[in-house]
Amino acid sequence: MLKSLAWRNLSARLHTRYLGHHTEEGEKNEVVRGRALTAAEGTAQKGYCHNKTETVGEKGRKGNAVMQPFFEEPLEEHLKRVEHYMRGCELLRFPREKSPLRTELAAFMRERAAEIVQEWVALVSPVFPLLAERIRETTQNMYDALLRWACHIEDPHDVDTYVYLHEHTRHGFIAHWPASRFLAGQMKIRLLIVERLREAYAKDRKKLVELLTLLDQEFYERLLHITDFFVEAREEALSDEEESHRKALDNAAAPIFKISYQTGAILRVNRVAEKVTGFSQEELKGRPIWELHPPEEQDQLRDLCQGTNGHGYLSREDLRLITRSGGVVPVSVHFGTIEHRGEKSIQGIYVDISDRKRLESQLIQSEKMAAIGQLAAGIAHEIRNPLGIIMNALYDLSEILNTDNPDVREDLRIAKDEIVRAQEIITNLLEFSRESGAEMEAINLNDLLRKTLQLMQKYLQTNNVKVVTSLGKVGTCLTNQNALRQVFLNLITNAVQAMPQGGELRLRTQRNANKHVLIECSDTGVGIPEHHLNSIFNPFFTTKEPGQGTGLGLSVVHSIIKRYQGNITVQSKLNLGTTFLIELPCPCATGKRRKDKQAAQLQP
């Protein structure tokens, strides 16, 4: 049974040593090269074990805190296990308690330690080999180790020697070399001790046999411990390497799947894969990798697995990964074969290409806008010419007809205004793919919205749509009146068409904290499916029946808002309605604040 006090003492000594502190005893034990220890030095050595234990014990009794090493419990179990093996195999002929024989052997080893180490170093230096600059250090270390072993032989409960070996086989100098190198050195140490015992006890055969038998018992124990320590150290190193590799995979930027070479079943995934898919490691393990893809892509994944087996590496673009929630993540898939100890597996790396897809979509949108601009330019003259003829006809009618009639005069005015507005709409359409040169003017947004509603009043009444307005104090804003009127017309028209059975149209204006103008247009219509929300601003995209829409209305709205550095977003739920929120910067508001600030600074 290991005593708790002895363990505390060993822990303290090891802690002190690895902090780089040198005790007074350690300085006294330095080997003087080329000579044996004197009788006085030998007498000082007899207190090597007890003095150290007593000193640390005294410190403990004074209340100093002692940090327990992390390997304390595992090492204690290890020592007990080796003792159990030796006892069961009848290798413990001498009790593991202090005895005169143990004290005599320990004293002999201390007395001869210096000369044994000197002979050992001279022998092994060319064999291992030892660098000249390390010979002194190696000599000192071996000398200290021999004294620690002597302490253990004298008192089996003093396991300081095994505490050091346990640590050094993991992190010390000997950890960098094969176990056979160290064991060969230990065997030579034993032979050097045996030679000196035979010389010293040549006339006392009985004592010699007892001492040699005890030495062999302790040496067998030492070999067992050292062998286990080296094996455990290698296992620990492999475990650390595996843990490092696992952390590298878990913290990778992309989902990684380890896949069965034969069946395509998932063997292991990293944390990113769990996070992206929403499935845990246990839920994914054993599932075929293609089950994480839509049905129409599963055959491609099967072919990808089989092809990887033959080619070693394959990849596929534009695939989709299905998540637990039913969402879809666009991915680029890269499969590669990994072979380890004769076993093959496939490593699948899934790269999220959502950002790339978004950029591609923006590029396509830009190209569509350019195409619309080119299309509009081609038909602009064809539309403008008839409008010009109609405008001339209206002028002639105004000269011929009796313009004293107010109704006729009003109808002619409205017709002329709408022709002008149609021409300006054509101009806006032409500006899809080029910088706008449209006239900017300060307008009252609320007044413009009221006039637009007034113009569409009959249309709203016919479709049984009730209008609710909440117009805040937004004041005037620098913009193009006809472009913004086109935005209002298109949004209101879309809202009415989304409420075939009638409903409520809510219009609200306000300024936010940034002094931007917010325009909100909400309806209680059929709503927009979620998978269509990313496409509603695309040119020619429509969910209406053929002949009922061109797909240009919202695209025109989006283009106009972006032209004036604004932003438009949409929120919609099926059968509940849709809300469009427009945010427009107002340059005139910024200019007004700047002028007000300057005026305030000029005041006395």
Region 342-351: mean pLDDT is 89
Q: Is 168 in contact with 185 (CB distance < 8 Å)?
A: no
Q: Is the pLDDT of residue 92 over 70?
A: yes
Question: Structural domain tally of the chain?
Answer: 4
Lowest mean pLDDT among 21-25, 143-147, 350-354, 433-437: 21-25
> Residue 517's beta-bridge partner residues?
511, 584
Q: Rounded to the nearest 5 degrees, what angle is found at the Cα of 582, between the Cα atoms of 576 and 587?
A: 165
Place of tokens 């129409």: 296
Q: Identify whether residues 414 and 308 lie together within a single domain.
A: no
Residue 488 belongs to a domain = yes
Residue 387 belongs to a domain = yes
Report the sign of the C-alpha dihedral through residues 379, 384, 387, 389, in that order: negative
Q: Rounded to the nearest 5 degrees, what angle is found at the Cα of 432, between the Cα atoms of 431 and 435?
A: 50
Q: Identify whether residues 60 and 118 lie together within a single domain.
A: yes
DSSP reduced 3-state for 280:
coil
Q: What is the pLDDT of residue 439?
A: 66
Q: Identify whether residues 229 and 290 lie together within a single domain.
A: no
Q: Identify whether residues 496 and 574 lie together within a single domain.
A: yes
For the segment 470-503, what is each residue's pLDDT rounded down to a tens digit?
A: 999 888 888 888 788 889 988 998 899 899 999 9
Q: Identify whether residues 162 and 24 lie together within a single domain.
A: yes
DSSP reduced 3-state for 67:
coil
Lowest mean pLDDT among 120-129, 200-209, 436-445, 538-547: 538-547
Residue 357 belongs to a domain = no
If we measure between CA atoms, which residue out of 526, 525, 518 comes closest to residue 504? 525
Q: Identify whether residues 258 and 197 lie together within a single domain.
A: no
Region 320-344: mean pLDDT is 89
Q: Identify whether residues 216 and 332 lie together within a single domain.
A: no
Which CATH number do you get for residue 298? 3.30.450.20
Q: Which residues contact 448 (CB under 8 A, 6 or more apart)?
A: 481, 484, 485, 488
CB atoms within 10 A of CB 330: 17
Report the sign of the C-alpha dihedral through residues 119, 122, 128, 130, in that order: positive
Residue 223 belongs to a domain = yes
Q: Which of 212, 239, 266 is the last residue of a domain?
A: 239
Q: Which of 319, 352, 385 is the last residue of a domain?
A: 352
Which CATH number do you get for residue 492? 3.30.565.10
Q: Identify whether residues 446 and 538 lie together within a single domain.
A: yes
pTM: 0.47
Q: What is the pLDDT of residue 287?
A: 92
Q: What is the pLDDT of residue 431?
A: 52
Q: Is the pLDDT of residue 322 over 70?
A: yes
For the segment 552-574, what is each residue's pLDDT rounded down to a tens digit?
A: 678 888 888 888 888 999 999 98
Which residue would you say has higher pLDDT here, 123 or 423?
123
Most confident of 145-149, 326-330, 534-538: 145-149
Q: Is the pLDDT of residue 598 over 70?
A: no
Residue 604 belongs to a domain = no
Q: What's the chain's average pLDDT? A: 79
Q: Which domain range does residue 276 map to? A: 252-352
Q: Rounded to the nearest 5 degrees, what angle is found at the Cα of 74, between the Cα atoms of 213 and 140?
A: 55
Residue 407 belongs to a domain = yes
Q: Identify whether residues 278 and 147 lie together within a single domain.
A: no
259 token code pair: 């896949």
Burial of 483 (0-12, 13-18, 19+ CB in 10 A): buried
Q: Which of 352, 372, 400 is the last residue of a domain?
A: 352
Q: Is the pLDDT of residue 203 over 90?
A: yes
Residue 246 belongs to a domain = no
For the segment 245-254, what is each residue's pLDDT rounded down to a tens digit?
A: 888 888 888 8
Report the sign of the C-alpha dihedral through residues 104, 110, 114, 118, in that order: positive
Residue 211 belongs to a domain = yes
Region 59-84: mean pLDDT is 58
Dist CA 411 CA 399 (whole Å) = 14
Q: Is 55 in contact with 47 (CB distance < 8 Å)?
A: no
Q: Is 336 in contact with 304 (CB distance < 8 Å)?
A: no
Q: Identify whether residues 466 and 519 lie together within a single domain.
A: yes
Q: Is 205 in contact with 142 (CB distance < 8 Å)?
A: no
Q: Identify whether residues 397 and 502 lie together within a single domain.
A: no
Q: Identify whether residues 144 and 227 lie together within a single domain.
A: yes
Dist CA 231 CA 322 (whole Å) = 45
